[in-house]
Structure 1
Amino acid sequence: MLRAADDLLVERGFAALTMEGIAQRAGVAKQTIYRWWKSKVEILLDTLSDDAREALEWRVGEDDPHGDLKSHLQRVADFFEEPAGQVMQALLGHAQLDKDTAASLRDGFLREQRERDVAGLRAFLARSHDLSVDDRTVDRLVDLLLGPLHYRVLVLGKPIDEELVDTTARLVVTLARDSTH
């Protein structure tokens, strides 16, 4: 059912996605869908959370530290091109018009992903650069790390290129180092 929702969103867009269409694509009765989810937003939030958990995971590599951070940012860039990234974009767009969607998205997926990103960047800085950065600074560094990528995709509607990934990774590490002096 989650895969059917992903596929239909990519094929038809958010406005044309219906619970009936999801049920038909999944080969189940509409009542089965409604037993688990009240709306297409709820099913999309579940599919987003499931897909993003692995796709946006912070991974420990054996690469150079700058390369490890670039690899993570490239996974974020790739995520935006995948169906799950398109689900996220659709939900963020809908959240601008619907306060309940905005609250569900912020209180669920976005809060959880933010916690993973803060923990991931903190661990990366400690492991790769032996930097201990305070909570407030790590929080702001996550903004600086992910903000340019989100801006490029969500505001400008352009793909994320290697130069943006490289520059962003380099600047965030430099700012983390500077914050400890």
Structure 2
Amino acid sequence: MSAHKSPDSSRRSDRSRRAICDAALALVGEVGYARTTIEGIAARAGVGKQTIYRWWPSKAAVLMEAFLDMGARQAEEAGEGGEYGIPDTGDLAADLKLVLRATVDELNDPVTEAPTRALTAEGIIDPALGARFVENLLEPQLQLYVTRLRAAQEAGEVRADVDPRIALELLIAPLAHRWLLRTLPLTHAYADAVVDHALRGLTVRP
């Protein structure tokens, strides 16, 4: 007769953690961040609220963890090993348009739009959360642009005196501005135009 084995607590905890993360994303998307509560997340996930408080200090922290977890799962499913890259086909404009179009789709995705807006807003109010948001979610993506722009510099496509950090802001900031303020629709055509304007500049050249 085999010896009795106790349940694997680490597996049980991981299942609970994922259930909590999924519940947080779902609730923010359904009722908004302001109306999402720890109690609501716990009920949706099928756990006690003390379980959430034991692992996270606030619902913003839960939402942050949920985003990181979702990104890791998407990368795993895509076979990227945890990080997405920017293609290098030798055509910088085409590569940037491809990535910015994907960014437009992500920002417009109803599954992630509300949680992303909530984290962005909370990051402005809470400097510590904002710093974590930048460090864990934004900075890894921005570094991909730096890497691609530096490769373009080495290939002679981009001037050697261009600062990649400033250059990437010319690409990312317009999308973020339009998305945050909802001034005009965020579309693929707009993303393409941003790339064209950033790469060609505004002044007439001889």
User: Which amino acid in 2 is paired with 1:14?
Assistant: Y
Identify the residue that residue 141 of structure 2 maps to in structure 1: 113
2:102 aligned to 75, 78, 90, which one? 75
Match of 2:43 in 1: 24
Q: Report if aligned partners of 2:153, 2:160 keep a CA contact under 8 Å in 1.
A: no
Indicate whether 1:8 and 2:27 are aligned.
yes
Percent identity of paired positions between Structure 1 and Structure 2: 31
> Which secondary structure state, in structure 2, belongs to the residue aligned with residue 150 of structure 1?
helix
1:48 maps to 2:67: yes
For residue 95 of structure 1, what is the aligned residue in structure 2? Answer: 123
CA distance in 2, matches of 1:152, 1:87: 17
- Cα gap change, 1:24 to 1:169, in 2 (>3 Å): same
Structure of larger gyration radius: 2
Q: Could you tell me the TM-score, scaled by structure 2's length?
A: 0.69
Give yes or no for contact 1:118–1:138 (8 Å, CA) kept in 2. yes
Aligned to 1:170: 196
**Structure 1 position 148 matched with structure 2 position 174:** yes
Instruction: Please tell me the root mean square deviation across aligned C-alpha atoms, in Å.
Output: 2.9
Alignment check: 8 A CA contact 2:97 2:195 kept: yes
- C-alpha displacement of 1:61: 6.7
Distance 1:135 1:118, change over 3 A: farther
Q: What is the CA-CA distance between 1:132 and the residue it aligns to?
A: 6.1
Q: What amino acid maps onto 1:137 in structure 2?
A: D
- Report how many residues are paired: 173
- CA deviation map 1:50-109 (0-9, x unaligned): 445658933427695433221100111111122334322111112233333323323432
* Aligned residue type for 1:72: V
Deviations 1:4-41, CA, capped at 9 Å, x for gaps? 11110011111111111111111222232223222111
Comparing 157-166 with 137-146, greater Cα deviation is found at 157-166
Q: Which amino acid aligns with 2:22?
A: R
**Are the counterparts in 1 of residues 88 and 148 from structure 2 also a CA contact under 8 Å?**
no
User: Residue 122 of structure 1: which of 127, 141, 150 is its match?
Assistant: 150
Is the CA contact 2:100–2:191 (under 8 Å) kept in the aligned structure 1?
yes
1:44 Cα offset (Å): 1.2
TM-score by length of 1: 0.78
Q: Which residue of 1 is the match for residue 187 of structure 2? A: 161
**Amino acid paired to 1:38:** P
Aligned partners of 2:63 and 2:159: how far apart in 1?
35
- Secondary structure of the residue aligned to 2:163 is helix
User: What residue in structure 2 maps to residue 178 of structure 1?
Assistant: none
